[in-house]
Structures are given as structure tokens and as C-alpha cells.
Amino acid sequence: MSAADPAGPQADRIWDLGLLFITLGSVVYAVVIGFLLYALWQGGRRVESVGGPAVEHGLTQWVAGAIVVTTVLLLGLLVANLAVGRATAEFAQPGALTIRVTGHQWWWEIEYADPEPSRRVVTANEIHIPVGRQVRVEVSSRDVIHSFWVPNLHGKLDLTPGYRASTVLRADRPGVYHGRCAEFCGLQHARMDFRVIAESPGRFAAWYEGQLRPGRAPATTLEQQGQQVFLSRGCVLCHTVRGSAAGSRVGPDLTHLASRGTIAAGTLPNTRGHLAGWVLDPQSIKPGVLMPPNQLAANELRALLAYLQSLN
């Protein structure tokens, strides 16, 4: 993840501006410090003070010149800055994909808007987007202020409770782009990451159709036992698995948990071992996280993991 490696037009324009700033800034810095060092060098060799109207006049001309140059440079930068500001903020084009992102302590709720309610997809911490298509991201927060940031794609946007804000971005090449929460939001601000997966329109459509399906029904006895654990223990109080009796929206939607690459908002790879550790004792991985520890017998855990891993 890097703002210096843009993968879309917004981040690209901003990085061009950044390069302009860095280049110009380095030149200005070198010139100013050069003058300072030269002043010290030639002044340090001097035995007699210099003074008088001629010296003062000369200094005045130099200083006035420097101020004029500074002002002109700043005006130039202002114009460049306004141009980039306009370019990055252009309105969403028709056909843009609209995604609603809601911040929670400390995870991301992702909802794909569609006029048809049955075609809305809800997921968490992982955003799939089609390459080359404009994406409009609408943000808000359920609790405190968070900030949505994918450095390779665009600058950040705050998620403020009580407000909606939106931004436009586009990925021009496929890839997995890391995003994180940029506004301090409490104990686990450090571990509130997400991933943007930019893929070809075809693959995106396939993923989307997959996400529209309800959660897979348990196929084996072990998975059935696992679903029973899920529905009879604490899990059901916070999580949704569409197609089952679990429908709470306090925590992330787990309908297609196994299709996601990470768990715990980008903290851990989605493997059986990490999942087991997370289910049993999330507090040791993310101290302060709102998910409570779960005491499960070995066979219960085995069944639950089998069930969760079947939810692809």
C-alpha cells in the first residue's frame, strides 16, 4: 500500500501533484539553505563589519526578489492544486457502481447498492470492484469517526456519524489494494484494515452473483453440528448468516465468510488455525475488540470451524 504507487486516476493525479511539490520543495530548500550556508561562510571570514546604504540597498533587493519568487511559486502551486482538486472530485458518471461503507469499531460494513433490494450484497472488510469502472463510495459511521483510505486509489474520506459523504474512485489495473482506517477511533484503530480487490468485470460479476446467494446449507454432519453451535452459542447474537436463523447485524455478516481472504478486519489470514484462535480468544489478538471470548469444547470448535469454512 503506497500513495506513491497509484492504480487509478484519482491517486495518479494526486501523486503527480505530490511529485511537483516534492521537486519544487527540494529545489526551494536547497536554494534557501545554500544561501544560508554561503552567508555564514562569507560572514564568518569577515574581519570588519559591512554596512551603509549601499549594502542595505543590495540586501533589500535580494530579499524583495526572494519574496516575489516565493509568492509566484505559491500562486502557481495554488493553481495546480485547484486543477487537481477539480479533477479528482468529478461527479460519478452514469453506470457507476455505488458502494455504501459503514464504519464500526473496528470493522467495515460493505453494502452494494442496487435499486432492487434482493440484489443488494452485504459483506465486511473486503470490497470487490471491477477494473475500469467508476465506483462511488458513500460513507457513514455507526459509532465514532473513522476514515476510509486506500492509498493506491484515492485520498481519504472521513466517516462521520450523522453525516453521509461520498467520493469517486476507479482502479485501472487488477490487484489487491490495502485500505485502513485513518482516523483515530479507539482501542483497535491500529487493526481496522480492509482490502479492495480489483478484478476483471467478468470475475467481479461472478463474485457478485456468488455473494447474492444465501449461506450454504450444512452438507455434512459435522457442518450441521457446527451450525447448531453457531446458533446456540454467542455467535448468533451478533452475526448474520443469510439463509439460517442468524440475522443480527451487530458484527460482520458471515454469510460468505470463507470467500474472504482475511478475518478480524485485515488482521489475520483466513485460515483454520487463525479462525480457531479468533473464535476462542479474540481479546488476545485485538485487545478491546467487542467480540467476547467463547468457551467451546474441542468437538464443538471442530464442528464450528467446519461450518464456518463451508460458508464460501
Partner 1 sequence: MVTIEDALTEQPLDPGEREKLERTWQPCPGFRGWLTSVDHKSVGKRYVATAFLFFLLGGLEASAIRLQLARPENRLLDPDQYNQIFTMHGTTMMFLFGVPVVLASATYLIPLMVGTRNISYPRLNAFGYWVYLIGGLFLYSGFILNTGPDSGWFSYVPLAGPEYSPGKRMDVWAQTVTFTEIAAIIAGIELIVTILKQRAPGMSLHRMPLYVWAILVTSFVVLFAMPSVALASQMLAFDRLVGTHFFNPAEGGDPFLWQHLFWFFGHPEVYIMFLPAAGFASEIIPVFARRKMFGHTAVVLALVATGFISFGLWVHHMFATGLPQLSQSFFTAASLMIAIPSGVQVFCWIATLWAGRPRFDTPLLFVLGFIALFVLGGITGVMVGSVPFDQQVHDTYFVVAHLHYVQVGAFVFPLFAAFYFWFPKVTGRMLSERAGKWNFWLFFLGVNITFFPMHFLGMMGMTRRIYTYLPETGWGDLNLLATAGAMLIAASVVVFLGNIAWSLRRGGLAGENPWDAHTLEWATSSPPPPYNFTHLPVVEGLYPVWERSAERPVVTGLSAERREILVTTVLDAEPDSRHENPGPSIWPLLSALPVGVTFIGGIFTPWAFVIGPALMLPALIGWGWPQAIPPDDRSIEEVAA
Residues 86-115 that bind partner 1 (CB under 8 A): 86, 88-89, 105
Footprint (CB under 8 A) of partner 1, residues 277-306: 287-288
Question: Shortest Cβ distance from residue 182 to partner 1 (Å)?
Answer: 4
Q: Indicate which single residue of 11, 97, 121, 306 sits in contact with partner 1 (rule: CB under 8 A).
A: 11
Does the protein bind partner 1 through residue 217 (CB under 8 A)? no
Regarding 250 and contact with partner 1 (CB under 8 A), the answer is: no
The backbone torsions φ and ψ at residue 5, rounded to the nearest 5 degrees and listed phi first, read: -130, 70
Assign 92 to helix, strand or coil.
Answer: coil
Asked if 184 contacts 142 with a C-beta cutoff of 8 angstroms, the reply is: no
In the window 112-151, what residues touch partner 1 (CB under 8 A)? 143-145, 147, 149, 151
The distance of closest approach from Cβ of residue 288 to partner 1 in the complex, given in angstroms and rounded to an integer, is: 6
**What are the φ/ψ torsions at residue 198 (nearest 5 degrees)?**
-95, 125
β-bridge mates for residue 135, sequence order: 97, 169
Among 7, 8, 12, 84, binds partner 1 (CB under 8 A): 84
Angle between helices 53-88 and 9-45 (to 10 degrees): 170
Specify the residue, 85 or 201, whose C-beta has the smaller distance to partner 1. 85
- Phi, psi dihedrals of residue 107, rounded to the nearest 5°: -155, 170
Q: Which C-beta is closer to partner 1: that of 59 or that of 237?
A: 59
Rounded to whole angstroms, how far apart are CA atoms 160 and 150?
18
* The three three-digit cell numbers of residue 281, written as one number: 480468544
17 to 76, contacts with partner 1 by CB under 8 A? Answer: 17-18, 21-22, 25, 28-29, 32-33, 35-36, 38-40, 42-44, 46-51, 55-56, 59-60, 62-63, 66-67, 70-71, 74
Q: Is the dihedral of CA 249, 251, 252, 258 positive or negative?
A: negative
What distance in Å separates the CA atoms of residue 98 and residue 116, rounded to the nearest whole number? 13
Q: Are 248 and 236 in contact (CB under 8 A)?
A: yes
Of these, 182, 231, 238, 290, which contacts partner 1 (CB under 8 A)? 182
- CB contact at 8 A, 288 and 187: yes
Q: Least Å distance between CB 226 and partner 1?
A: 29
Nearer to partner 1, 41 or 297 (CB): 41
156 CB contacts (<8 Å, ≥6 apart)? 147, 148, 149, 182
Q: Which three cell numbers stand for residue 147?
A: 476514515
Q: Which of the 8 DSSP states describes residue 189?
A: G
CB of 289 to partner 1, least distance (A): 10
* Least distance between partner 1 and beta carbon 279 (Å): 20
One of 98, 133, 160, 208 touching partner 1 (CB under 8 A): 160
Closest distance of CB 96 from partner 1, Å: 17
